[in-house]
Amino acid sequence: FEFGTLAPKVFILEIYLLFIPILGRVIATFLCSGEKEVDLAVQSAKAAFKIWRKKSGMERSRILLEAARIIRERKDEIATVETINNGKSVFEARLDIDTSWQCLEYYAGLAASMGGEHVQLPGGSFGYTRREPLGVCVGIGAWNYPFQIASWKSAPALACGNAMVFKPSPFTPVSTLLLAEIYTEAGVPPGLFNVVQGGAATGQFLCQHRDVAKVSFTGSVPTGKKIMELASKGVKPVTLELGGKSPLIIFSDCDIENAVRGAMMANFLTQGEVCCNGTRVFVQREILDKFTEEVVKQTKKIKIGDPLEEDTRMGPLINRSHLQHVLGFIEQAKNEGAKVLCGGDLCVPEDPKLKDGYYMTPCVLGNCKDGMTCVKEEIFGPVMSILSFDTEAEVLERANDTNFGLAAGVFTRDIQRAHRVVAELQAGVCYINNYNVSPVELPFGGYKMSGFGRENGRVTIEYYSQLKTICVEMGDVESVF
């Protein structure tokens, strides 16, 4: 099948080949949106915005709830599409779809209660504020959670009365189209949630467009910087959800079985291609050997293969060049003195149809030191680096010694230590005795170079709306002139 935005007579930048990671084969081609198509998408979103912004919160809420219901009803189908496109196990993809409809439900619940405040002023005068939408917002997504990222951006945007033009990653262009279809079926005005396809050039057209009021971006730090620069030219607010190299601190008094499960969750979901992964696993020296042995044992048990099979827990990486990039980090780690305790190799599953897919075995690296490349840089693959530590003060210093600040985790039975440590961690999301759970009621976002702004939670309303102040005079004007 072919994805084309408009007839080929309009200016087309590029044609993308859509590879599926499971088989390493092209299954589709699609045309990228050029400047003209981006403008058409923005103009149709603008027209839809005029209708949508006039609806009451309750009316918007009902439509979002209906969209959430349809997502739930079509969960298996959407998860299958996500798996075919991204490579993550269908088991996990279903969890992503759950946090997608939950996000729509959450903001549907908030839509009706959004409002301003009334303030009494002297002499019977008063003021009030209106919480108003921004207009046409742009969402630009990464390839690791395509449907979920589009849902996490569009749900609060639409709940606040905005329209959205969304550009998925060119590696995962498909599932967002299902979201657009679902919003339409649920009753949003045509054009309110538009999808354009393409890579960097299409993204740039979106960020520069004069009728775009805000850009919400999920992706790497280098691209985030470019987006911020582009948006600054139009003084557009941006939300940046960027990469990370998060620490996970395991104290010797922890429940070790839970800590091992937590470390697995922190490193191997979606083939390790997760922004908030706790890839720097600091283990207190007393339990280093026991913890390492158990983590290696569990990692070796992960079933790799066709992600559409129910019991598979790790599928292929997103594409061949990313696979080579991740394997390159492991090679470099070895050269720098790390020890491969398991995995880190190309993997050819037994099923002959999978022979060209982008599979590798999940890797645990021991003997890691703070200065090593595998410990400093985001690998974005199934590679856990284990480091040892002795004291709380030492581990805090080392955990914070990074330009990233997306997430962090701590495992301990000492409740006071747990809260003392998270208070010192320089990260936007901290987990105590768990890792990589994503309740949509809680804000998600980074400190330092991992970005700013938040997704999910009540606070995100602030990032998709603006306050208008109205000052009402009930007496005569007292002029100074």
Ligand X SMILES: O=CCc1c[nH]cn1
Residues engaged in binding ligand X (CB under 6 A)? 144-145, 148-149, 152, 274-276
Query: Binding partner of residue 380 among ligand X, ligand NAD, none, CB under 5 to 8 Å per kind?
Result: ligand NAD
Binding site for ligand NAD (CB under 6 A): 140-145, 167, 169-170, 199-200, 203-204, 207, 218-220, 223, 226-227, 241-244, 275, 378, 380, 406, 446, 451
- Looking at 277-414, list the stretches that DSSP marks H as alpha helix, in order from N- to C-terminal side: 288-300, 320-335, 373-376, 392-399
Which residue reads 């439509």 in tokens?
Answer: 63
The position carrying tokens 């030219």 is 233
**Partner whose binding site includes residue 21, from ligand X, ligand NAD, none (CB under 5 to 8 Å by kind):** none
Strands (E), 329-436: 339-342, 363-366, 383-389, 407-411, 429-432
Nearer to ligand X, 269 or 386 (CB): 269
- Give the whole-angstrom CA distance, residue 59 versus residue 452: 31
Q: How far apart are CA 268 and CA 56, in angstroms?
A: 43
Q: Decide: 16 and 205 in contact? Cβ < 8 Å.
A: no
Measured between alpha carbons, how far is 240 from 230 in angstroms, rounded to an integer? Answer: 13
- How are strands ordered across the β-sheet holding 2-3? 2-3, 25-31, 15-20
Measured from the CB atom, the residue of 238 and 410 that comes closer to ligand NAD is 238
Nearest residue to the partner ligand NAD, using Cβ? 203
- In the bound state with ligand NAD, the residue whose beta carbon lies nearer, of 200 and 432, is 200
Q: Cα separation of 230 and 7, whole Å?
A: 28
Question: What minimum distance in Å lies between the beta carbon of 152 and ligand X?
Answer: 6
Q: How far is the CB of 224 from ligand X (least distance, A)?
A: 13
* Least Å from the CB of residue 71 to ligand X: 15
Question: 204 touches which of ligand X, ligand NAD, none (CB within 5 to 8 A by kind)?
Answer: ligand NAD
Helix ranges (H only) for 217-341 are 221-233, 256-268, 288-300, 320-335
Name the residue nearer to ligand X (CB basis): 366 or 451.
Answer: 451
Residue 241 known to be catalytic? yes
> CB of 284: closest distance to ligand NAD in angstroms?
27
For 149, the 3-state DSSP assignment is helix
In the complex with ligand X, the residue whose CB is nearer, 145 or 452, is 145
| Residue whose CB is nearest to ligand X in the complex, by number | 275
Q: How far is the CB of 157 from ligand X (least distance, A)?
A: 15
Q: What does 292 bind: ligand X, ligand NAD, none (CB cut-off 5 to 8 Å by kind)?
A: none
Burial zone of 50 (CB within 10 Å; 0-12 exposed, 13-18 middle, 19+ buried)? exposed
Q: How far is the CB of 407 from ligand X (least distance, A)?
A: 9
Residue 148 near which of ligand X, ligand NAD, none (CB within 5-8 Å, type-dependent): ligand X
Residue 319 or 400 having the CB closest to ligand NAD? 319
CA–CA distance, 186 with 51 (Å, rounded to integer): 15
Among the listed residues 37, 82, 241, 378, the single catalytic one is 241
CA 147 – CA 218 distance, rounded (Å):
12
Which residues are tagged catalytic?
241
